[in-house]
Amino acid sequence: MTTPILAPHKEPILNVLLTAILRVYMRLYHRMDVEIHPESPKKAPYIAITSHFSMLDPPALMVMDPFTPKSTTVCKASLFDLPVLGGIMRSRGIVPVSRDGRDIGPLRNLLSALKYNRGICLAAEGRRSRTGRLGPINRVVVKLAARAARGGIPVFPVAVIGTFESLPPGSRLPRPRKLCGVVGKPIDLQRWKTGAKGEQDIAELAKVLQESIAALLPPDNRPAADTPALALPAIDNFDA
């Protein structure tokens, strides 16, 4: 299933209201702070690559998003079948992806978002971490970063700290833990301006992306010592 990305338009009122409600919740219940690096992009197009430790991350990222129109992202297709949530995600331009990752339509839609001067926000691992530590970077994310480098599009890291401790896998209700959203400065991708040529280039770019996100995280959320930088081809798909 694919959903076309349209040119930027006025933010639907439902999205504005939902974001306002989430902002109040995040501020009162989680005492959420947001730190934005002064060199971070001020307008689209851009690619933000994020940590993803909890189901709290998507609403936290919605609150953090300073751009108009809002960043688009991807989400597993089954959630689009839910009556209210599916409508909200469609109105925000979120792209559905299948679990098997074989449909290339979502990738085309993400690229069209950049074409229409929209920004995209992607979980660096392509899925939620189950350990609370940053893992290998999804190859699709690495290839999109290489394409961005060729086009002069900024790529920057984002982290939401505290979501794993507040709502780890298996928990139904979030605990009142403090959250902190951090937006880093653009990553230096000068070396890949002519693209990522070969497996070695892809692996080295993955390491740069992983280190950029890890630098925003506390030690307990950084990759373990034996964690590779690049995900295996078998997990190239996106999943929530």
Q: Residue 7: inside a domain, yes or no?
A: no
Q: Residue 221: inside a domain, yes or no?
A: no
Number of residues that make up the chain = 240
Q: Residue 232: inside a domain, yes or no?
A: no
Q: How does residue 7 score in pLDDT terms, banded at 50, 70 and 90?
A: very low
CB contact burial 73-87 (16+ within 10 A = b; e otherwise): bbbebeebeeeeebe
- Alpha carbon of 72 to those of 8, 65, 155: distances in Å? 11, 10, 14
Question: Is residue 117 scored above 90 in pLDDT?
Answer: no
Q: Residue 32: inside a domain, yes or no?
A: yes
Measured CA to CA, the distance from residue 13 to residue 145 in angstroms comes to 32
pLDDT at 26: 95
Q: How does residue 118 score in pLDDT terms, banded at 50, 70 and 90?
A: confident
For residue 137, the 8-state DSSP code is B
What's the mean per-residue pLDDT of the chain? Answer: 84
The model's pLDDT over 128-157, given as tens digits with 9 standing for 90+, comes to: 899 999 999 998 899 889 999 999 999 999
For residue 195, the 8-state DSSP code is -
Average of per-residue pLDDT across 28-45 = 94
pLDDT at 14: 75
- Domains: count for the chain: 1
Range with the poorest average pLDDT among 55-59, 65-69, 231-235: 231-235
Q: How does residue 4 score in pLDDT terms, banded at 50, 70 and 90?
A: very low
Question: Is residue 5 scored above 50 in pLDDT?
Answer: no
Half-sphere exposure of 191 (CA within 13 A, CB side): 11
Question: Is residue 30 scored above 80 in pLDDT?
Answer: yes
- 216, amino acid identity: L
202-208-213 Cα angle (round to 5): 125
Domain span holding position 206: 13-167+175-216
CATH number at residue 157: 3.40.1130.10
pLDDT at 1: 38
The model's pLDDT over 161-202, given as tens digits with 9 standing for 90+, comes to: 999 999 998 898 999 999 999 999 999 999 998 877 788 989
pLDDT at 183: 96
Q: Residue 235: inside a domain, yes or no?
A: no
- Alpha carbon of 208 to those of 5, 169, 181, 227, 230: distances in Å? 29, 28, 21, 14, 10
Q: Residue 147: inside a domain, yes or no?
A: yes
Burial of 170 (0-12, 13-18, 19+ CB in 10 A): exposed
Sign of the C-alpha dihedral computed for residues 208, 212, 217 and 218 taken in this order: positive
Q: Residue 224: inside a domain, yes or no?
A: no
**DSSP labels for 147-178?**
HHHHHT--EEEEEEETHHHHS-TT-SS-----
Task: Determine contact, residues 202/140, Cβ cutoff 8 Å.
Answer: no
Element holding 95 (H helix, E strand):
strand 95-97
Tokens, residue 14: 């439902």
Q: Which residue has the higher pLDDT, 209 or 103?
A: 209
| Residue indicated by tokens 């209210």 | 84
Q: Residue 130: inside a domain, yes or no?
A: yes
Question: Is residue 122 scored above 80 in pLDDT?
Answer: yes
Measured CA to CA, the distance from residue 169 to residue 30 in angstroms comes to 18
